[in-house]
Chain A
Amino acid sequence: ISYSQEAGSYAIQHRVNKLKQHHRRAFDLISKALKIDEEVGNRDVRTVEMYKKGINELERGILLDFNCGSNKECHQAKKLQHKMKLNLDMAKKRLDYHQLNQNRKSQSVLKHLSLPRNMKAP
């Protein structure tokens, strides 16, 4: 093969490796978040942070360009990206759910602290 072909395949390999790195980090973070989520529900604040970081990794992986033709590596990378996109959507929804719960919690705390409307402050 020619030098340019070789350089091209190195570039693809490099992106594939990057994709795998993002997948790995996203997988580790989101599985940890899911574990807490499954066990204790929304009571843990760490889950929100882990979902956020995991979502960021998914996004960075999905942004890599694999429009490199019929190459087998590219095909597999695109398939993986497709799965990552699905998980990105679902993880985002889960994050929304947690953030909504957090807001509700802080609102109820505020409500508790504030005086009823018809009551005047002393």
Chain B
Amino acid sequence: QTTATNIPQGSVDVLMRQAADEAGLELNMELPGPAQQTVGQSTQASTEQDELSQRLARLRQV
């Protein structure tokens, strides 16, 4: 076991907050996580493909 796994999560959080305060950073800043980002992106891709479908279908009717 490494030292890192021995330290309880609570004290890690406290330490992080202390360091952040000292550096003047906002810890609760909501950064997009990697998972969220991929979901967002693929739904965007999916909507864009839908848009193409609609436009292509419209031209076919003309």
CB within 8 Å of B: which residues of A?
16, 20, 23-24, 27, 30-31, 34, 37-38, 73, 76-77, 79-80, 83-84, 86-87, 90-91, 93-94
Assuming the contacts A90-B60, A94-B59, A94-B60, asked whether A80 and B53 have C-beta atoms less than 8 A apart, the reply is no
Task: Report chain A residues within 8 Å CB of B39.
Answer: 76
Q: Which of B1-9, B15-23, B25-33, B40-48 binds A?
A: B40-48
Q: Complex Cα distance A76/B39, Å?
A: 8
Interface SS majority for chain A: helix
Give 6 closest A-B pairs by Cβ, nearest first: A83-B49, A90-B56, A76-B42, A23-B45, A34-B55, A87-B52
CB within 8 Å of A: which residues of B?
38-39, 41-42, 45-46, 48-53, 55-57, 59-60
Shortest C-beta distance, A1 to chain B (Å), equals 15
Please state if B52 and A37 are interface contacts (CB–CB under 8 Å).
no
Shortest C-beta distance, B56 to chain A (Å), equals 4
20 A-B residue contacts at CB 8 Å? A16-B38, A16-B42, A20-B41, A20-B45, A27-B48, A34-B52, A34-B55, A34-B56, A76-B39, A76-B42, A77-B42, A79-B46, A80-B49, A83-B46, A83-B49, A86-B49, A87-B49, A87-B53, A91-B52, A93-B60
